[in-house]
Amino acid sequence: MDVLVHGEFERNDMVEYFGENFGGFRFTDNGWVQSYGTRGVKPPIIWGDVVRTKPITVAETVFAQSQTDHLVKGMLTGPVTIYNWSFPREDLSQKTSVEQIALALEDEVLDLEKHGIKIIQIDEPALRENLPLRKKDWYPKYLDWAVPAFRLVASKVKPETQIHTHMCYSQFGDIIKAIDNLDADVISFEAARSDFSLLDILKATHFQTHVGPGVYDIHSPRIPSKDEIVHIIHEILKRLPADHVWINPDCGLKTRDVPETKASLINMVAAAKQVRKELTHENQPVL
Q: Which CATH number do you get for residue 132?
A: 3.20.20.210
CA distances 285 to 103, 206, 236, Å, are 38, 18, 14
234 with 279, same domain?
Answer: yes
DSSP state of 132: -
Is 85 a domain residue?
Answer: yes
Q: What confidence tier does 139 reach under pLDDT thresholds 50, 70, 90?
A: very high
Domain range spanning residue 260? 219-287
Tens-place pLDDT, residues 164-189: 999 876 678 889 999 999 999 999 98
Asked whether residue 283 is assigned to any structural domain, the reply reads: yes
Q: Residue 192's pLDDT is what?
A: 74
- The pLDDT of residue 195: 72
Q: Which helix (H) or strand (E) holds 107?
A: helix 94-114
Domain boundary among 189, 207, 233: 189
Question: Is residue 178 domain-shared with residue 269, that is, in the same domain?
Answer: no
Tell whether 148 is covered by a domain: yes
213 part of a folded domain: no
15 and 104, same domain (yes or no):
yes
In a domain, 151, yes or no: yes
Does any domain span residue 207? no
* Strand, helix or coil for residue 40: strand
Just list the catalytic residues: 219
Does pLDDT of 54 surpass 90? Answer: yes
- Pair (123, 32) in one structural domain: yes
3-state secondary structure 65-92: HHCCCCEEEEEEECHHHHHHCCECCCCC
Clarify whether residues 228 and 148 are in a common domain: no
Domain count, the chain: 2
231 lies in the same domain as 180: no
Strand residue runs (E) in 146-185: 162-167
196: pLDDT strictly greater than 70: yes
234 and 116 in one domain? no
User: Could you tell me if residue 209 is inside a domain?
Assistant: no
Q: Which range in 20-34, 139-153, 241-255 is most confidently predicted, on average pLDDT?
A: 139-153
Q: Does residue 171 share a domain with residue 51?
A: yes
Q: Give the tens place of pLDDT for each residue, 260-282.
A: 999 999 999 999 999 999 998 77
Calpha distance 147→124 (Å, rounded) = 10
Are 178 and 223 in the same domain?
no
Same domain, 10 and 146: yes
265 in a structural domain: yes
Residues 120 and 159 grouped into a single domain: yes
Same-domain pairing of 27 and 162:
yes
